[in-house]
Structure 1
Amino acid sequence: MDVVRILESASLLVPEGVATDNDIAASDVWDHLAHDEWEVALSLLQELGDGWTAPAGFWDQLERAAGMLGFERSREWCRWRGGEARVGVIRAELALRPAGETFRRTPVPGAGVLRPMWDIGHRTEGGTPDLYIAHVWVEFAPELAPGTTAPVRLLPLTPERWRHLAPGDRITLYETAVAGGTGTILEVQPPSGHGEDVRRP
Structure 2
Amino acid sequence: MDVPELLESASLLVPEETATVNDITVRDIWDYLAHDEWEIALGLLEEIGDARSLPLTFWAKLAEAAEQLRLERSAAWCHWRCSEIRNGVIRADLTLRPAADARRTTPISGAGVLRPMWDIGHLSPTGERAVSIAALWVENMPVLAPGGRASVRLVPFTPSHWTHVQPGQQITMHEDRTVAGTAVILEIHHPATAMPAR
TM-score by length of 2: 0.95
Partner deviation per Cα, 1:18-70 (whole Å, 9 max, x = no partner): 11101111111100000110000000000010222111111000000000001
Aligned residue for 1:137? Answer: 137
Deviation at 1:125, TM superposition (A): 2.1
| Equivalent residues of 2:89, 2:156 under 8 A apart | no
Give the distance between the partners of 2:103 and 2:116, measured in 1 at CA.
13
Matched residue SS, 2:12: helix
Aligned residue for 2:19? Answer: 19
| Equivalent residues of 2:168, 2:184 under 8 A apart | yes
What is the aligned residue count? 196
Deviation at 1:115, TM superposition (A): 1.0
Aligned residue for 2:89? Answer: 89
Partner deviation per Cα, 1:78-105 (whole Å, 9 max, x = no partner): 0000110111121100000010211100
| Equivalent residues of 2:88, 2:156 under 8 A apart | no
Partner amino acid for 1:12?
L
Gaps of 5+ in 1: none
| Equivalent residues of 1:54, 1:192 under 8 A apart | no
Aligned residue for 1:175? Answer: 175
Aligned residue for 1:122? Answer: 122
Q: Is 1:165 aligned to 2:161, yes or no? A: no
Deviation at 1:184, TM superposition (A): 0.4
Superposed, which structure 2 residues align to 1:6-85 within 5 Å?
Answer: 6-85=6-85
Please report the RMSD computed on the Cα atoms of aligned residues, expressed in angstroms: 1.4
| Equivalent residues of 2:105, 2:146 under 8 A apart | yes
Give the distance between the partners of 2:74 and 2:131, measured in 1 at CA.
30
TM-score by length of 1: 0.93
| Equivalent residues of 1:73, 1:111 under 8 A apart | yes
Q: Runs in 1 of length 4+ with deviation above 3 angstroms?
A: 192-195
